[in-house]
Amino acid sequence: MTPVRHTATRRTATALLAATALTLSLAACGSGGGAKPAAKNDAGELTVKIMVGGLNKQIYLPVMLAKNLGYFKAEGIDAQLSDEPAGVDAETAMLAGQVDAVVGFYDHTIDLQSKGKSTESVVQLLRAPGEVEMVRTDLAGAVKSPADFKGRHLGVTGLGSSTNFLTQYLAEKNGLKPGETTSIAVGAGSTFVAAMQNKQIDAGMTTEPTISLLQQKGLAQPLIDLRTAEGARAALGGTYPSSCVYLTSAYVQQNPEAVQKLANVFVKTLKWIQAHSPAEITEQMPADYYAGVGKDAYVKALENEKAMYSPDGLMPSDGPQTVLNVLSAFDPTVKGHTVDLSKTYTDAFVKKAG
C-alpha cells in the first residue's frame, strides 16, 4: 500500500505549499481584483488556458468534443487545454494564476467560498456526478453499503477532490464518524485500476471508462451509482450538479467577452450532444480515450449515462442547495459557515449564448 500512500502525501504537500505561498495574493482575488485582461494570439484570438480534471473522463467529454468540433476556433478562442487527473490540483493551478479556467465539479466553488476565495460556475455541463462507488469483487459480500466502509481504504482521485467529498458524505450519511475510513489518492484510469487490482483500496469512486474497465477485468462491481439524476437524488438527497466551467470571480469581471465566448462554445456543444447518438459522439473522441476498454464498451457506457449531460448549461434550481447540504455534513470549512450560493454560479452568460 506504500506507493499509493506516498502519492497521496505528495499531492497533499504540493497543495498545502501552494496554498501557503498564495495566501496574501489570493486575498485580492477574493475581493474581485487581481485578474488580468485575456491575452490575444497573433491571429487575434482570445487565449484562454483551461485545465480539466481528467480530459479522457466521460464526465468531462464536452471539452474535447468542443475542440474537435471546432467550436473554440469558431468563437475566436485559442483554447489551451491541460490535463490534471485530480480536480483539487486543477483548482490550485487556477488560484495560482497558472490557468484561467477549470472544468471540474461545482462543489469546489462552495468549498472555496467558505475559505474566502471567490469563484463561480458559468456553464453547468452535468446534472449528475457521473461517478460510481465501486467495491472490490472479493469484498462484495462484506461491503454492501457505505455503512460497511468502517476501517476500509477508499480510493479517490485526490485528497480534497470531489470524489473525496462524495465518499466522505456517503460514509457520514451512513453513520460513520470522521477517521473511521481512510481516503487514498489513486487518480483515475490505469492508476485506479492498479490500486484495485493490487488490493491497495477496498472500494473507490471513479467514472467511465474506468468503471467499464474494472467490470471487464472482474476487479470491482458497482455499489452506489451516481451516473443519473435519479441515482444522485436517491443517494444525495437532491439534484447534484457536478462538471462545470468555473473561474475566479475576478477573471469573470475582468473578461466578460472571453467568458461569454466560452459559454457560447459549451452551450453549443451540449446541444450537439443532445442531437447525436453515443456512437456519433464517440467518433469525435481521440482513439486513445477508449483504447483500454474498447470502442464498443465506451459507446455502451456513454449510452448508460448520456442523460447526465445538461441539455442547456443552466444550473438546476435545487442543485446548489443540495451540494451545500452534502458539504455541510462533513466538511469543517463549510459546516457552520454562511455561504452565499448566488455568488457560486451565474446563468447570465448561458442565457445570452446563441
Q: What is the pLDDT of residues 23-65, one digit of tens each?
A: 333 333 443 346 789 999 999 999 999 999 889 999 999 999 9
| pLDDT > 90 fraction of the chain, expressed in percent and rounded | 79
- Using left for φ > 0, alpha for ψ between -120 and 50, and beta otherwise, residue 116 falls in left
Mean pLDDT across the chain, nearest whole number? 89
193, 156 contact by CB (below 8 A):
no
Residue 333 φ then ψ, to 5°: -80, -20
- Residue pair 296/313 in contact by the 8 Å Cβ criterion: no
Per the DSSP assignment, residues forming a β-bridge with 134 are 204, 222
Report the alpha-carbon distance of residue 71 to residue 77 in Å, rounded: 9
Cell numbers linked to 15 = 497543495
Low-confidence stretches of the chain (pLDDT beneath 70): 1-34, 85-87, 354
| Cα four-point dihedral sign 208, 308, 304, 149 | positive
Task: Enumerate the β-bridge partners of residue 226.
Answer: 131
User: What pLDDT digit, counting tens, does each position of 238-267 carry?
Assistant: 999 999 999 999 999 999 999 999 999 999
| Separation between Cα atoms, residue 11 and residue 16, nearest integer Å | 9
What's the gap between Cα 115 and its chain centre? 19
For residue 124, the one-letter residue type is: Q
Tell me: cis bond preceding 209? Omega within 30 of 0 counts.
yes
CB atoms within 10 A of CB 218: 9
What is the value of pTM for the model shown?
0.86
Contact 136, 197 (CB under 8 A): no
Q: What pLDDT was estimated at residue 18? A: 41
Residue listed under C-alpha cell 451540494: 323
Strands (E), the chain: 46-52, 77-83, 101-105, 119-124, 131-136, 153-156, 182-185, 203-206, 220-226, 243-248
Residues 6 or more apart in contact with residue 206 via CB below 8 angstroms: 131, 132, 134, 155, 157, 163, 188, 192, 214
pLDDT at 337 (0 to 100): 87
